[in-house]
Structure 1
Amino acid sequence: MTRVLVAYGSSEGQTAAVAERIADVLESDGHEPTLVDLGHSSADLESAEYDGAIVGASIHAGAHQRYVAEFVRDHRETLNRLPSAFYSVSLSAASEDEESQAAAEELLEGFLEETGWDPDGTLSVAGALRYSEYGLLKRFMMRRIASEESGDTDTSRDYEYTDWGDVESFAREFSTLVT
């Protein structure tokens, strides 16, 4: 059984949900995934411990979580040696506007350049609007941003844009790399 590290940084929970789905797919394919929230614990990535690694982060205010970038930089050599993949979660990826989608891709590529990581696969994942979990100010700001993007502005409910089929395909493709 191959061991796969699934490490992530999540600000509002959607990146964690994606990590959990990836781990479920890997487990169903016969692998042994280890989920690690990099915001709450440090993960050691020894090449003898894992046969592969998937790292995820979300974009907020134009950047991925700093602690995820630090983890990748600290473990760059191992990540570049093992089968590895990166996924990036953002609302821009959910946009129908090609410029917004391109911006999400550029941030993903910028993260990889900044950290010196060359993963075997990447995925830009649409996130979620969780109006019910936001405070008044954040709800107002997110509604304004959604309005500018012709998005969902009814703050009485939440919206999930993640294409779970894409996430599962991404995980299955990675699964073939560590078999």
Structure 2
Amino acid sequence: MKVLFLYSSREGQTKKIFKFIDSELQGYECELRNLDEVDSIDLAQYDKVLIGASIRYGHLNKKLYQFIDTHLEQLNRSKVAFFCVNLTARKEEQGKDTPEGSAYIQTFLKKSPWKPELIGVFAGALYYPRYNWIDRMMIKFIMSMTGGETDTSKEVEYTNWQKVALFAEEFKGLKAKNV
């Protein structure tokens, strides 16, 4: 099975999640490509496609929406799933790690003409020391408002790897849409 992974990541957590999913897909040939570097691609050459994108300051990368607009017909014909990575999903007890409970996914579904059958929502990571000063202060401010980590000397990974493994299993079973 040939699988295409398309990612949009700022500090690399989305890419790290893809590498984990790759390890869960034994026997699959997985190709990882950056959405920022893909203009046109024939999705029909892949058995399945998985798109993953991170949220930064409340928004998905504009390149994701451009890709969807350009490839909508192919997306609707292919076995394609989507996942979103954000820090709000760390609040699993509030359901923020589900498509129904994620404000980001609900916004995505309103803005996007593509409606993936399988959607995952994963908590990302805080990499304070890697951020520039402005990003570090903005993210610290947001985290202080939402009850998160504010020590800017820390790196904290919130990703629930068991949940990612379960999503990988669901992705394996993904069937083509009836269009």
Q: How does 1:160-171 map to 2 (within 5 A)?
A: 160-171=157-168
* Letter of the structure 2 residue corresponding to residue 177 of structure 1: L
CA distance in 2, matches of 1:97, 1:176: 27
Residue of structure 2 in register with 1:67 after alignment: 63
CA distance in 1, matches of 2:93, 2:143: 12
Task: Report the Cα offset of residue 132 of structure 1.
Answer: 1.0
* Letter of the structure 1 residue corresponding to residue 54 of structure 2: S
Q: What do you get for the CA RMSD once the two structures are aligned?
A: 2.3
1:165–1:74 Cα change, 3 Å:
same
Q: How does 1:19-168 map to 2 (within 5 A)?
A: 19-26=18-25, 28=26, 30-42=27-39, 44-47=41-44, 49-95=45-91, 98=94, 105-168=102-165
Q: TM-score, normalised by structure 2?
A: 0.87
Over residues 33-79 of structure 1, what are the superposed CA-to-partner deviations in whole Å (9 max), with x where a residue is unaligned?
111111234450331x1111110111112211000111122112222
CA distance in 1, matches of 2:106, 2:118: 12
CA distance in 2, matches of 1:97, 1:35: 32
Residue of structure 2 in register with 1:5 after alignment: 4
Q: Count residues in correspondence.
A: 175
Greater than 4 Å deviation, 4+ residue runs: 99-104
Check conservation: 1:57, 1:87, Cα contact below 8 A. yes
CA distance in 2, matches of 1:139, 1:104: 27
* Letter of the structure 2 residue corresponding to residue 170 of structure 1: F
Q: Where in structure 2 are there 5+ consecutive unaligned residues? A: none
Check conservation: 1:57, 1:88, Cα contact below 8 A. yes
CA distance in 1, matches of 2:2, 2:80: 12
1:112–1:45 Cα change, 3 Å:
farther
Task: Report the Cα offset of residue 21 of structure 1.
Answer: 1.5
Residue of structure 1 in register with 2:14 after alignment: 15
Percent identity between the aligned chains? Answer: 36
* Letter of the structure 1 residue corresponding to residue 20 of structure 2: R
Q: Where in structure 1 are there 5+ consecutive unaligned residues? A: none
